Amino acid sequence: MKEKDYSKFFSHLDLKDFRLTSARKALLDVLEYDHLTFKTILERLTEKGFSNVATLYNNLDFFVQNKVVMELKIDGEIYYDIANNNPNHNHDSHIHIVYKDKDKNPLYITETQEKSLFDVISSHPLFENEELEYIQMVVSVVKK
Ligand SMILES: [Zn+2]
């Protein structure tokens, strides 16, 4: 089997001394398609044989500092998400949508790249004299 290419997650960095340990690879695997809390990440990593809390804490901190992973604060809880090479956003601009459907446990987080949504904000008269650097938003919705 072909070895997975993890370098896409670090393409914005120049890290010569960066060590991609198996624990870091496992962390990226777990986060690749999901938005997860520390607790859930630890549960999933434990299933893969990586149950060291301190290591996870350090690796997450390292990734967040280097914008490989970003933190999303939703209802007082922090969710982690891949920042770089995420097809749905980059580490600068993203609009996340939180679906709170009682049937779904406990909430579902996704993101949108809907250009018109970004256009509405960037073309708003409020910013007519400014250049937009980035847009970061969380939109929380409940089914009608
Ligand atoms: Zn995301």
pLDDT bracket for residue 54 (50, 70, 90): very high
Ordered structural domains, the chain, with CATH? 7-141 (1.10.10.10)
- Give residues whose Cβ lies within 5 Å of ion ligand 1: 81, 111
Span from the CA of 39 to the centroid of ligand 1 (angstroms) = 18
- Pairing relationship of beta strands 77-82 and 36-37 according to DSSP bridges: antiparallel
Instruction: Give pLDDT, residue 88.
Output: 58
The interaxial angle of helices 53-65 and 22-31, nearest 10 deg, is 70
**Residue range 4-30: mean pLDDT, rounded:** 84
Instruction: Give pLDDT, residue 135.
Output: 87
Span from the CA of 126 to the centroid of ligand 1 (angstroms) = 26
- Classify 53 as helix, strand or coil: helix
Span from the CA of 135 to the centroid of ligand 1 (angstroms) = 13
- Over the stretch 97-135, which tens digit does the pLDDT of each residue have? 999 876 666 788 988 888 888 889 989 999 999 888 888
Span from the CA of 88 to the centroid of ligand 1 (angstroms) = 7
Residue 129's Cβ-side half-sphere holds a number of Cα atoms within 13 Å equal to 0
The yes-or-no verdict on residue 89 having pLDDT over 70 is: no
